[in-house]
Amino acid sequence: MGCGASKEAPKAAAPAATPAKPTAEPAKPVVTPADPPKASAAPAPAPAPAKAPSAPKDPEPVKSAPSATGGTYELPKIGDEKFDAWLSAQLAASGPDVKDTTDFRYLTFSEIPPFIDLHKSLMRKNLTPELFAQLKDIKSSKGYTLSNSIQAGVLRPHLGVGITCGDEECFELFKDILYPVVKGWHGFDPATQTHKSDLDPTKLTFPEDIASKFGTYVKSTRIRAARNIAGFSLPAGASVEDRLAVEGVLKEAFASLPEPLQGKYYPLGGLTSAQEDELQAGGFLFQKPGPMQLLGAAGAGRGWPDGRGIFHNDAKTVLCWCNEEDQCRIIAMEDGGDIKGVFGRFCALSDSIKTASEANGKSLMYDPKLGFLGTCPSNLGTGLRASVMIVLPELNKDVHKLEEICAGFDLQPRGSSGEHSAAVGGKWDISNKQRIGFSEVELVQKMIDGVGKLIALEEELAAAAAGGAAPAKTPSAPAAGSSSYELPKIGDEAFDGWLTSQLAASPADVKDTDDFRYLTFSEIPPFIDLHKSLMRKNLTPELFAQLKDIKSSKGYTLSNSIQAGVLRPHLGVGITCGDEECFELFKDILYPVVKGWHGFDPATQTHKSDLDPTKLTFPEDIASKFGTYVKSTRIRAARNIAGFSLPAGASVEDRLAVEGVLKEAFASLPEPLQGKYYPLGGLTSAQEDELQAGGFLFQKPGPMQLLGAAGAGRGWPDGRGIFHNDAKTVLCW
């Protein structure tokens, strides 16, 4: 996983999901995934109709001064005139760096960057002027500086981590900035905690009955991590000599693997066309990162493709990448659910690289506090991601229950459209959330135990659906009235106690339902470090006091508006609107949030709309190219009807009235768009299967998910539905 690239602030417990590693524009019209797919994994499903907000596109590069080595290096255009001018001045003033190449320049920042609202990283959050002054002139023996380290985070504003390491010394030299970043990303404090490693697969508990269940339900298994060799630079700071030396050590390691793991090493610069096609077809090929992509902006793409390569065994159940993000990424994988066997191969790979390193008088990069070291702080500790692809058709009908079980084992479930979405065909990707503070054996064991629990519940639900006994429900504490509402456990004793007292003191809200309560906060929440949202950043005690008693004519309050951001600490926005009036009543908190998220200031700027497709310029020659290269296209947006509440604050009456208006709209569509409306509460089993197979079905949000925590799941499924035309080229939720 690369340094997190997310518009939402990073979760403190661990990165919620492995951010996709960027790839350069490939020579062939085939997209190469950053993490290779599981062995014989099914092709990725077509995109679902809705997606979470994505990171902004790469900024447009602008031509800049020739590099010291005679090439031309392009700075990104961030989009803020003053910041772009500052960057250009810093580049012009930067002296040559011995690591510069014809197509890459390392900048030397003479002062702390004048970060703008677009910069979201933990590096930006923790780098003070005093700390910059303290560290700016420090250089490792390999020549890596603070400026080198923060360059990617300065040039790529949306990154969640924003700092890279160029060699092993960086972790000590720059620990005053790295340790807070590690703590913010992982919830692990290297200043007070110690990491542990355990690569003994015999310690896993995986009894035959559980292994048999895994064999039935799990379609593929994969475990990956990075290994780096002490004494050589990491890719973001590597010299040509170090890069080639690393490749040499790794080739020795591959040559000494035991028979089941033996295979072939493919130098990236020496691939034949047939080899390239074969590696690309298997998802094994990685591309040069573009200069404005994460690894490219950090300098890891210099001297491409020399010293890079790919190894896999004959059975294609182990795979290694040489000198990509780290010196060596090791992956073990296979079809089926033999997680103990996969972990055994993973450990054998790690041991072989360690043995080859020691034979060359080297060792693996490892620190007692930080564990295995690597380029990005998001991958410290074990750096391990263990995942299974598993089919759970019954649990797929209750995403919240599945997520609830996974949370108990610190696992991350991902559906077809990412977090909090159902999975087409009931096929889920389940992986460990944590990286550091737990050993490899502990993390894989959590995976076994958690997935085993999911399988057991899946079988109970299947038996109940077939007429057997239904699984027992977990009781929860009764709330006001006759409802039973569960508060999340944030994990901070004082804050959890405060939440409980606020719930107990909250009066009844006319919008409450049997399974949901709106809280009324009597004071500004005592936010903790886990709270990352722009709402938390901008909500001062004075502003809370100013807005707390204001209520829209539909009954939506400030407390209603911030509830999701209080209960879901990792959210990046942290505030919702319940009706149209909110945008005026609460603009003193909403406008700063909008500015922080979009870089657009509603107080001084005006938006414009233009829905005339005839104004697009799309000549035939370009259209022809799109027809050749583009596999699918989607455009989506939201529309809401004035006079009715938004879902987070809607009454039953408003929800049904909105449905009525929309059904009239669907009935009056012109012929190519005509189709059928499916009320969510009236679906037959066949209709549900068909909609799910097409990625058209949406699920009730659990109470601790974003929409659920905001109240948008009340009264489910009444008033909800799905429309699509006969050709399935338009879709409405």
Q: Is 417 annotated as a binding residue?
A: yes
- What does DSSP say about strands 309-313 and 263-267: parallel, antiparallel, or unpaired? antiparallel
Using CB atoms within 10 Å of the CB of residue 449, give its burial: 0 to 12 exposed, 13 to 18 middle, 19+ buried: middle
Strand partners, 430: 388, 413
Q: Token digits for 8?
A: 């939402």
CA gap 547, 563 in Å, rounded:
14
Question: Beta-carbon neighbour count of residue 367 at 10 Å?
Answer: 17
Residue-level pLDDT at 468 = 59
Question: Beta-carbon neighbour count of residue 407 at 10 Å?
Answer: 17
Q: Where are the domains of the chain?
A: 493-598, 615-732
615-732 and 493-598 share a CATH fold: no
Q: Is 494 annotated as a binding residue?
A: no
Give the distance, in angstroms, between the CA of residue 452 and the centroid of all CA atoms in the same chain: 25
Q: Token digits for 391?
A: 């089919």
Instruction: Name the residue with tokens 């406008």.
Output: 591
| Residues 576-587 pLDDT 10s | 999 999 999 999
Contact status, residue 502 vs residue 485, Cβ threshold 8 Å:
no
Q: Is 386 annotated as a binding residue?
A: yes
Q: Is 223 annotated as a binding residue?
A: yes
List of the chain residues with pLDDT < 50? 1-2, 5-69, 470-482
Instruction: Name the residue with tokens 């027809």.
Output: 627
What dihedral do alpha carbons 408, 409, 411, 414 form, nearest 10°?
Answer: -50
Residue-level pLDDT at 337 = 96
Strand partners, 224: 331, 385
Give the distance, in angstroms, between the CA of residue 692 and the centroid of all CA atoms in the same chain: 23
Q: Is 227 annotated as a binding residue?
A: no
Q: Is 632 annotated as a binding residue?
A: yes
CA gap 221, 480 in Å, rounded:
45
Residue-level pLDDT at 387 = 94
CA distances, 214 to each of 217, 434, 442 (Å): 5, 22, 18
Residue-level pLDDT at 51 = 34
Q: Is 416 annotated as a binding residue?
A: yes
User: Which CATH entry fits the domain spanning 615-732: 3.60.15.10, 3.40.50.2300, 2.30.110.10, 3.30.590.10?
Assistant: 3.30.590.10
Q: Is 224 annotated as a binding residue?
A: yes
Q: Is 559 annotated as a binding residue?
A: no
Residue-level pLDDT at 20 = 35
Q: Is 221 annotated as a binding residue?
A: yes
Q: Is 431 annotated as a binding residue?
A: no
* Helix, strand and coil percent figures for the chain, each rounded to 5: 35, 15, 50
Residue-level pLDDT at 568 = 86
Contact status, residue 67 vs residue 667, Cβ threshold 8 Å:
no
Q: Is 490 annotated as a binding residue?
A: no
SS3 626: helix
Residue-level pLDDT at 360 = 86
Q: Is 116 annotated as a binding residue?
A: no
CATH architecture type of domain 493-598:
Orthogonal Bundle (1.10)
- The DSSP result for 376-416, as a single string, is SGGG-BT--EEEEEEE-TTGGG-HHHHHHHHHHTTEEEEBT
- What does DSSP say about strands 411-414 and 675-679: parallel, antiparallel, or unpaired? unpaired
Residue-level pLDDT at 388 = 95
Note if the pTM is more than 0.75: no
Residue-level pLDDT at 291 = 63
Task: Compute the radius of gyration of the chain from its Cα atoms.
Answer: 27
Say how many CA atoms lie within 13 Å of 45 toward its Cβ: 21
Q: Is 415 annotated as a binding residue?
A: yes
